[in-house]
């Protein structure tokens, strides 16, 4: 596994046979954390932008198990990356303290999200200026 804190694409092995395909992901093996929560997002149309928050604690892996979407990740220091999620055997790893927008959902998109933490509304930062402020505070500690 790479640097734990790096935003990156993950490739999962596909287990296929004549009956069809299967992808298996296991916590601490294919996913760089123990999985405590899963949720999935579907029925969002192409105009919708979801996410628009950062998490102080949670890490995530996002997998479009059907259809496609994009995720834009911002580090609060001026850097951004866009990932296209369009294959069920790839995902994107998002560490804590990154801002994320999910958008461009296809009508058949099912976006599976694996999370390292149980849901806690208080660890979400939903204001971008507040996110930047907290990032800069962390950087200044170095
Ligand atoms: P929200 O975080 O806005 O979704 P997204 O990240 O896709 O934009 O969540 C939508 C609603 O669902 C919000 O009221 C919080 C609630 N929610 C939970 O109760 N538990 C969860 O695990 C998640 C992800 C959301």
What pLDDT is stored for residue 4 in this prediction? 63
Active site residues: 53
Is this structure's pTM higher than 0.75? yes
Ligand 1 binding pocket mutation candidate from 36, 45, 51, 98 (most atoms within 8 A of CB): 51
Predicted confidence (pLDDT) at residue 1 exceeds the cutoff of 50: no
Q: What is the pLDDT of residues 81-112, one digit of tens each?
A: 999 999 999 999 999 999 999 999 999 999 99
Task: Please give all residues whose beta carbon lies within 6 A of any atom in ligand 1, as ranges.
Answer: 37, 39, 41, 50-51, 119
Residue nearest to atom 3 of ligand 1 (CA): 51
- Quick one: tokens of 62? 């996002």
- Reported confidence tier of residue 12, pLDDT bands at 50, 70, 90: very high
Cα 8 off chain centre by = 10
State the average pLDDT over residues 44-65: 98
134, burial (CB in 10 Å: exposed 0-12, middle 13-18, buried 19+): middle
């Amino acid at each position: 596994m790479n640097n734990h804190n790096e935003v990156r694409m993950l490739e999962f092995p596909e287990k296929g046979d004549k009956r069809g395909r299967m992808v298996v992901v296991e916590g601490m093996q294919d996913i760089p954390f123990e999985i405590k929560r899963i949720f999935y997002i579907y029925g969002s149309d192409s105009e919708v932008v979801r996410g628009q928050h950062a998490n102080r604690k949670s890490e995530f892996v996002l997998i479009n198990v059907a259809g496609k979407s994009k995720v834009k990740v911002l580090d609060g220091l001026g850097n951004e990356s866009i990932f296209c999620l369009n294959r069920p055997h790839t995902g994107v790893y998002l560490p804590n303290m990154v801002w994320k927008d999910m958008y461009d959902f296809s009508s058949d998109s099912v976006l599976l999200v694996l999370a390292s933490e149980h849901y806690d509304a208080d660890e979400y930062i939903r204001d971008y200026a507040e996110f930047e402020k907290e990032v800069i505070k962390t950087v200044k500690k170095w």
